[in-house]
Structure 1
Amino acid sequence: MVLNMVGLSMFALAFMIIATEAREYTVGDSVGWNTPTNETFYQDWATNKTFLVGDILIFNMTGNQMVSQVSKADYDNCTKVVSGFIGKEGVSVLEQTLVTSGPLYFICPIDDDCVKGQKININVESTNSGASTLQPHHSAISRSVGIVVALAMYFLTIAH
Structure 2
Amino acid sequence: MGRRNTVLNMVGFFIFAMAFMIIATEATTYTVGDSFGWNTPPNETFYQDWARNKTFFLGDELIFNISGTLMASDVSKADYDNCTKVVSGIQGSGNGTVFTATLITSGPHYYICPTDDNCAKGQKFSINVESTNSGASTLQPHHSAIAQSIGIFVALALYFVTNAH
| Cα distance in 1 for residues equivalent to 2:9 and 2:133 | 34
* Match status 1:17 vs 2:37: no
Query: Normalising by the residue count of structure 2, what TM-score does the alignment of the two structures yield?
Result: 0.69
Residue number in structure 2 paired with 1:43: 48
Post-superposition offset of 1:18: 1.6
Residue number in structure 2 paired with 1:73: 78
Residues 20/41 of structure 1: CA separation in 2 closer, same or farther (3 Å cut): same
* Equivalent position amino acid for 1:95 in 2: T
* Match status 1:110 vs 2:110: no
Residue number in structure 2 paired with 1:34: 39
Secondary structure of the residue that 1:95 maps to in structure 2? strand
Residue number in structure 2 paired with 1:89: 93
What does the per-residue CA deviation read over 1:10-64, in whole Å, with 9 as the maximum and x for residues that have no partner?
A: 4554343222211111111111111110110111111111111111111111111
Tell me how many residue pairs correspond in the alignment: 130
Post-superposition offset of 1:9: 5.6
* Match status 1:101 vs 2:106: yes
Query: Normalising by the residue count of structure 1, what TM-score does the alignment of the two structures yield?
Result: 0.71
| Cα distance in 2 for residues equivalent to 1:51 and 1:85 | 19
Post-superposition offset of 1:125: 1.0
Post-superposition offset of 1:7: 6.6
In 1, are the aligned partners of 2:90 and 2:100 still within 8 Å (CA)? no
In 1, are the aligned partners of 2:40 and 2:121 still within 8 Å (CA)? yes
| Cα distance in 2 for residues equivalent to 1:124 and 1:18 | 19
Where structure 2 has 5 or more consecutive residues not aligned to the other structure, the ranges are: 136-165
Q: Name segments (4+ residues, structure 1) moved above 4 Å.
A: 1-12
In 1, are the aligned partners of 2:56 and 2:127 still within 8 Å (CA)? yes
What does residue range 50-61 of structure 1 map to in structure 2 within 5 Å? Answer: 50-61=55-66
Identity %: 71
Post-superposition offset of 1:116: 0.7
Post-superposition offset of 1:129: 2.2
| Cα distance in 1 for residues equivalent to 2:36 and 2:83 | 21
* Equivalent position amino acid for 1:87 in 2: Q
What is the Cα-based RMSD across aligned positions, in Å? 2.2
* Equivalent position amino acid for 1:34 in 2: N
Secondary structure of the residue that 1:18 maps to in structure 2? helix
